A and B are shown apart, each in its own frame.
Chain A
């Protein structure tokens, strides 16, 4: 029996994540980047549930789950405790999904950032409340099918654009905000290392596909996450002390249909709807200086 195939893997295999889960990959990469001197405060969600069914845990770092909406507040409390006890060299890290960040978790996150607490916040974005069965979140992209934005006779999928979380956090004046994708792991890990080294509130938002939620084959997780970036649907950038730096510009931006057509959650889209999304992506790319 080899229970530590990756001696340095700070998340043990044997967890209950779906085969091909983009989010657990994001977790593994994050811990690889951050190392063992962290305390993780995690929100209720897929990652929390699949890694800690009592009495088992996948975590090889100190880890606490409290509730759905307060990962940031708990992490702030951890950070305050470390400071008050004079404990140095340990980073307080908050991790939550898009639901636990953009919606129910936004207040706590806003408080943490506004106070300037020394917390690295990682949002793993699978663009819906996947853990409870694929209900929409404010991070669900325009046009997507979810169980609460179904395709019906009167309404067809998500009718609101994706909430721009990184912009909201940057507007708070956080010293470092970045976007990432599991298909670009080195970029993701570099951004995490950079964020962790800063004393203060930092935010990294990683797009991580969900195979059942996005209706994709298990094996396509990375391919889809890559296409999101290559089509300009998801842009990799960082905002450091208010200064924007796009860390990857797709050399020849592919049409967004290439990305959408890979996913069952978009299969209902008409050409007109896809054109609409293309325009939204074009506008977004223009803003970021991507051709």
Chain B
């Protein structure tokens, strides 16, 4: 790679190559029956790693498993399960 004078980074958003999904200890599972597509989960996701939709779609590449979405979903459509379990 070529270093830039003053350490300027010219590729916007190149941090996206870090798949922070590897951080997870718990993963969110969407219950497609309960999900109404309200988008609240997507609004509150810090990463962002969950798309608004019916049903909402988790981007497991980046989801860190914080559980905010599960905690906030008004329809209790999201459950956090230990990573590695189905």
Interface residues of B in 53-81 (CB under 8 A from A): 59, 61-62, 64-68, 70-72, 80
Number of A-B contacts (CB under 8 A): 118
Binds B, one of A17-25, A96-104, A150-158, A248-256: A17-25
Q: Does A1 count as interface, using CB distance less than 8 angstroms?
A: yes
| A185-B43 CB under 8 A given contacts A12-B16, A58-B15 | yes
| A21-B46 CB under 8 A given contacts A1-B61, A13-B62, A222-B68 | yes
Q: Does B5 count as interface, using CB distance less than 8 angstroms?
A: no
Q: Are A219 and B80 in contact (CB under 8 A)?
A: yes
Q: Does A164 count as interface, using CB distance less than 8 angstroms?
A: no
Partner of B46, one of A24, A52, A223: A24
Give Cα A54 to B47, complex, Å. 19
Give Cα A14 to B13, complex, Å. 9
| A59-B46 CB under 8 A given contacts A13-B59, A20-B67 | no
Partner of B15, one of A14, A217, A222: A14
Within 8 Å CB of B48, what residues of A?
Answer: 5-6, 9, 13, 28
Binding site for B on A (CB under 8 A): 1-6, 9, 11-17, 19-22, 24-25, 28-29, 51-52, 54-61, 182, 185, 211, 217-223
Within 8 Å CB of B46, what residues of A?
Answer: 17, 19-22, 24-25, 28, 221
Give Cα A22 to B71, complex, Å. 14
B1-28 contact mask (Cβ, 8 Å, vs A): 1 or 0:
1000001010111111111100100000
Q: How far is the CB of A109 from chain B (nearest CB, A)?
A: 26
Give Cα A28 to B44, complex, Å. 10
**20 contacting pairs across A/B (C-beta < 8 A):** A4-B16, A5-B48, A5-B49, A6-B48, A11-B13, A12-B15, A14-B19, A19-B46, A19-B66, A21-B46, A56-B14, A57-B12, A60-B12, A60-B13, A182-B44, A219-B67, A219-B70, A219-B71, A221-B46, A222-B71
Give Cα A14 to B68, complex, Å. 18
Q: Are A13 and B49 in contact (CB under 8 A)?
A: yes
Query: Of all chain B residues, which has the CB nearest A183?
Result: B44
Q: How far is the CB of A282 from chain B (nearest CB, A)?
A: 29
Within 8 Å CB of B68, what residues of A?
Answer: 20, 218-219, 221-222
Within 8 Å CB of B43, what residues of A?
Answer: 29, 185
Question: Chain B, interface size: which category?
Answer: 20 to 34
Q: How far is the CB of B67 from chain A (nearest CB, A)?
A: 3
Query: Of all chain B residues, which has the CB nearest A52?
Result: B9
Q: Are A222 and B44 in contact (CB under 8 A)?
A: yes
Give Cα A28 to B15, complex, Å. 15
Within 8 Å CB of B15, what residues of A?
Answer: 12-15, 51, 56-58
Give Cα A40 to B16, complex, Å. 19
Within 8 Å CB of B72, what residues of A?
Answer: 222-223
Within 8 Å CB of B59, what residues of A?
Answer: 2, 5, 13
Q: Are B44 and A217 in contact (CB under 8 A)?
A: no
| A57-B71 CB under 8 A given contacts A13-B59, A19-B23, A19-B64 | no
